[in-house]
């Protein structure tokens, strides 16, 4: 395989055919970094409006670093994987304190920041500063595996590291364009189920295309089926028309707000004791909603119930709409038809 010609064919295709995306219109390392954080495990079309909103509201490192976490979570609401914005927030504070609010150009300094793993390091350092560091995501692993008929399991970290090491031995000196081109090829041409091989600029280099077994690659262990977990969710309204909310403390949705949820076998007495309130009605069933995570699904059975209690946990609808909530809880909120 002629890697010099491969690089030439790939970059010519990319420069002629690349999608017009807002983060490709900037050379600001901060905005490039922010876009890559958003793009992790999230589709481009989903990210675009969030990126545009964040660039307008938080145009600098300092704007993110000085923001309240609850505001960032609210603006991130619906994008999911909320640890991304928490880590990014923390990392911008690190940049503010250690590097005078300038994204460090040295890879070892950038890699030391919270939430910066090998992929983010490769993408930002190559696109912003042209360091020859491969950015290996699912798209890149798929392209690489098909090019080389590479049979190792890409779900294993040792495979990811091996692919990264090999790519870095032959990737173009135009490292940023190379990384973007590999990702673009995987996203638009070398797709998982219906690759457009006839349009591929690398088909003359591709071993799996030559052997007519493109769909056999990449090799990946089957994922375990998603686990369903059922909760009862209680929309608790007091006489003032306010609703009881709790702030999440667990890592998955830390800092998000939700209506109280409980295992389906939790008694109403136990719920009253835990929340330190007394209900004045029996629960009325509203509907079921689902919230799908990467490896599990929440099935939320929503109930309305009333109380005469007041406390700081009770919020008006106006205040609730300004607080960050998961998609699942937004669906529960929508049952109120507010």
Q: How do beta strands 296-306 and 261-263 pair?
A: unpaired
Q: Rounded distance, CA 26 to CA 31, Å? A: 7
Q: Can 36 be counted among the known catalytic residues?
A: yes
Alpha carbon distance 30, 321 (integer Å):
29
Cα(243)–Cα(275) distance, integer angstroms: 13
From CA 97, how far away is CA 304, in angstroms rounded?
47
Q: What letter would DSSP give residue 219?
A: B
SS3 of 334, please?
helix
Alpha helices in the chain (DSSP H): 3-17, 29-39, 44-57, 61-65, 69-76, 83-98, 107-111, 118-129, 138-148, 157-170, 175-188, 207-210, 268-275, 317-320, 327-334
- Tokens, residue 43: 């589709």
* Helix, strand, coil content of the chain in percent (nearest 5): 50, 15, 35
Return the structure tokens found at 244: 């009881």
DSSP 186-208: HHHTS-SSS--GGG-TTGGG-HH
Instruction: Please say whether the beta carbons of 146 and 208 come within 8 A.
Output: yes
Structure tokens at 263: 């295992």
- d(CA 149, CA 143) in angstroms, rounded, equals 10
- Please calculate the CA angle 261-262-268 and round it to the nearest 5 degrees: 110
Whole-Å CA distances, 192 to 50, 185, 272, 305, 329: 26, 11, 50, 47, 32
Question: Which listed residue (25, 36, 68, 121) is catalytic?
Answer: 36
Q: Which residues are catalytic?
A: 36
């Amino acid at each position: 395989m002629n890697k010099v010609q491969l690089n030439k064919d790939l970059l010519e295709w990319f420069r002629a055919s690349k999608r017009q995306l807002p983060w490709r219109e900037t050379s600001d390392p901060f905005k490039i970094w922010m876009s890559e954080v958003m793009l992790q495990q999230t589709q481009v079309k989903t990210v675009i409006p969030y990126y545009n909103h964040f660039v307008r509201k938080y145009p600098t490192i300092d704007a993110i670093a000085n923001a309240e976490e609850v505001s960032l979570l609210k603006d991130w609401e619906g994008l999911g994987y909320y640890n991304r914005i928490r880590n990014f927030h923390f990392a911008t504070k690190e940049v503010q304190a250690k590097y005078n609010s300038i994204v460090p150009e040295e890879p070892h300094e950038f890699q030391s920041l919270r939430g910066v793993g090998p992929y983010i390091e490769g993408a930002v350092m190559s696109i912003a500063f042209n360091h020859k560091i491969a950015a290996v995501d699912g798209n890149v692993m798929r392209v690489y595996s098909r090019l080389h008929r590479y049979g190792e399991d890409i779900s294993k970290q040792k495979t990811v590291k091996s692919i990264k090491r090999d790519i870095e031995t032959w990737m173009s000196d135009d490292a940023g364009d190379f990384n973007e081109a590999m990702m673009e090829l995987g996203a638009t041409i070398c797709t998982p189920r219906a690759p457009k091989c006839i349009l591929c600029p690398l088909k003359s280099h591709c071993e799996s295309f030559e052997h007519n077994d493109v769909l056999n690659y990449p090799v990946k262990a089957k994922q375990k089926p998603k686990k369903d977990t059922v909760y009862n969710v209680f929309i608790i309204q007091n006489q003032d028309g306010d609703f009881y909310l709790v702030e999440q403390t667990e890592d998955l949705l830390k800092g998000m707000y939700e209506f109280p949820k409980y295992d389906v076998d939790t008694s109403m007495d136990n719920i009253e004791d835990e929340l330190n309130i007394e209900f004045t009605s029996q629960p009325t069933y509203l509907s079921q909603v689902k919230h799908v995570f990467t490896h599990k699904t929440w099935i939320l059975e929503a109930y309305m119930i009333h109380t005469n209690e007041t406390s700081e946990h009770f919020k008006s609808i106006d205040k609730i709409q300004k607080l960050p909530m998961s998609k699942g809880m937004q669906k529960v909120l929508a049952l109120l038809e507010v």
